[in-house]
């Protein structure tokens, strides 16, 4: 097997070519260690040219990903060949590794590390409380990171303006049963097609909720596919 190394947008892309089996796993692991030794912990494996892969090679990939995750990075797969995809799916590894159609999508996802974009079918309800409303305004969670949160409301929201402090209450699907409760300041308001998107900066949150959100962000790569399948 041959390995071509490139660095694109700050992400290391390793393109594998040939048969990925027991005879080359040591060479693969050595290449991963070399890349990590150079300071790179965000790695894309382009596997479009891999004709064959066995369980030992898949084990080496799992080990390499574990090392990247331990260093707050990740290892993802791009353009898996039919042989690679079949092997990964047969062992359920398509639920462990993030898999992308091309290098650009993989790089974009790794460069967006530290935030989560919610797909339409996995959005979570967010209750927004303001003093003027007797009942909370129900929104949908659109994006979340350690310091900010975006929500979508299916109608114009006259009382929700930039600079306004609000209280939020929401859950994260398939992650934690308890509600997150925090305060946030509205940064921007965008209206489109009758709905409103609020971009908010988190201003007050308990240590327990902050730690739980940080853990969620770390784990979301593994959980995203399961969340979509079970939402």
Whole-number Å distance between alpha carbons of 100 and 122: 19
Cα distances (angstroms) measured from residue 162 to each of 139, 187, 189, 207: 17, 5, 7, 26
User: Which CATH number covers residue 162?
Assistant: 2.40.10.220
Maximum average pLDDT range among 37-41, 138-142, 197-201: 197-201
Q: pLDDT, tens digit, for every residue of 75-93?
A: 999 999 999 999 999 888 9
148 in the same domain as 64: no
194 in the same domain as 147: yes
User: Which CATH number covers residue 33?
Assistant: 3.30.750.24
Maximum average pLDDT range among 26-30, 193-197, 217-221: 26-30
Q: What is the pTM assigned to this prediction?
A: 0.51
223 in the same domain as 126: yes
Spatial contact of 153 and 195, defined as CB atoms under 8 Å apart: yes
**Higher model confidence: residue 224 or residue 5?**
5
Please give the pLDDT value at position 175.
64
Please give the pLDDT value at position 159.
82
Domain count within the chain: 2
Which of 81, 113, 145 is the endpoint of a domain?
A: 113
Summarize the confidence of residues 64-71 as an average pLDDT. Answer: 91
Q: Buried b / exposed e across 141-155, counting CB within 10 Å, b at 16+?
A: bbbbbeeebbbbbee
Which of 98, 113, 128 is the endpoint of a domain?
A: 113
Whole-number Å distance between alpha carbons of 188 and 22: 54
Q: pLDDT, tens digit, for every residue of 172-182?
A: 755 666 789 99
Range of the domain at 35: 2-113
Whole-number Å distance between alpha carbons of 204 and 202: 6
Q: pLDDT, tens digit, for every residue of 117-153?
A: 444 433 468 889 888 776 778 888 888 888 999 998 8
Which of 113, 145, 172 is the endpoint of a domain?
A: 113
**Higher model confidence: residue 156 or residue 196?**
196
Please give the pLDDT value at position 176.
67
**Higher model confidence: residue 216 or residue 201?**
201
């Amino acid at each position: 097997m041959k390995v071509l190394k490139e660095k694109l947008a700050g992400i290391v892309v390793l393109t594998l070519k040939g048969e990925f089996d027991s005879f080359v796993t040591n060479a693969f692991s050595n290449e991963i260690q070399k890349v990590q030794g150079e300071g790179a912990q965000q790695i894309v494996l382009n596997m479009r040219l891999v004709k064959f892969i066995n369980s030992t090679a898949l084990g080496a990939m799992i080990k390499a990903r574990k090392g990247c995750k331990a260093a707050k990075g990740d290892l993802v797969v791009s353009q898996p060949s039919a042989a690679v995809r079949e092997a990964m799916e047969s062992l359920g590894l398509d639920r462990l590794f993030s898999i992308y159609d091309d290098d650009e999508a993989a790089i974009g996802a790794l460069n967006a590390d530290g935030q989560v974009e919610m797909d339409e079918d996995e959005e979570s309800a967010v209750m927004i409380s303001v003093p003027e409303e007797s009942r909370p305004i129900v929104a949908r969670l659109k994006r979340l990171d350690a310091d900010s949160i975006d929500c979508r409301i299916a109608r114009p929201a006259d009382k929700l303006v930039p600079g306004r402090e609000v209280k939020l209450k929401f859950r994260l699907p398939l992650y934690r049963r308890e509600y997150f409760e925090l305060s946030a300041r509205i940064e921007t308001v965008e209206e489109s097609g009758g709905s409103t998107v609020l971009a908010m900066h988190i201003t007050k949150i308990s240590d327990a909720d902050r730690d739980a959100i940080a853990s969620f962000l770390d784990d979301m790569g593994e959980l995203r596919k399961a969340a979509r399948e079970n939402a």
